[in-house]
A and B are shown apart, each in its own frame.
Chain A
């Protein structure tokens, strides 16, 4: 079974802090994704990566950056957290090579910025 893990289930940070959210997958997937989920808005793609050291902006990249130094690990960074970044953050991975990529999700990190 594919396993995607995220470093924290719940996180509370203060405005202006630098925040790191870590995601690890154990199935050698090329693609990794970071989403945020807000009520009524569904999942919105922040960034994705299709290979080590490669990254592409999603629909809402402002205020975020990412890092992928190893294939299994994809980090989301909030350089200076703000209250409007309070949300559920979901990481996912998928195997590249077909046009039918199923995404496997981690359990999510609920971030609160005070």
Chain B
């Protein structure tokens, strides 16, 4: 079953602009993670935010988490063409490190 749902499904921006995508989930979580997938490749972990954290930064990435609304957002600042990829949120709420992934947001950054 799919836990996270990303919004929007697709995003097209120009280099230098900020890209924001949102993730909503349904049940309580231990943490929420964001992954990136370049076309036809495996996923790469970007950032993890725990349920007791509200905001986290990593380079040009900023993630927020609102557990009362069961939602998270990922902001990529000053986007580059190399940021073109699909971005997935994944929630961990149970045992064994299992993650539930959303359907992803496809981001295209044009020069």
Binding site for B on A (CB under 8 A): 4, 31, 33, 35, 40-45, 48, 50, 56, 58-59, 88, 90, 92, 94, 96, 99-108, 110
| Nearest CB in chain B to that of A107: its residue | B42
B40 and A108 within 8 A (CB)? yes
CB interface residues, B 35-57, toward A, < 8 Å: 35, 40-45, 48, 50
CB interface residues, B 80-111, toward A, < 8 Å: 88, 90, 92, 96-104
Q: Would you give 18 A-B contacts (Cβ < 8 Å), ordered by A?
A: A41-B103, A42-B4, A42-B101, A42-B104, A43-B88, A43-B101, A44-B101, A50-B96, A59-B1, A90-B42, A90-B43, A96-B96, A100-B30, A103-B45, A105-B43, A107-B41, A107-B42, A108-B40
B45 and A108 within 8 A (CB)? no
| Contacting residues, chain A, for B31 (C-beta < 8 A) | 99-100
B103 and A40 within 8 A (CB)? yes
| Nearest CB in chain B to that of A99: its residue | B30
Task: Give the number of A-B contacts (CB < 8 Å).
Answer: 68
Interface of A is mostly: strand
| Contacting residues, chain A, for B33 (C-beta < 8 A) | 102
| Contacting residues, chain B, for A99 (C-beta < 8 A) | 30-31, 92
Q: What 6 new A-B contacts, CB under 8 Å, besides A43-B88, A101-B92?
A: A48-B98, A88-B40, A99-B92, A100-B92, A101-B97, A108-B41
A56 and B101 within 8 A (CB)? no
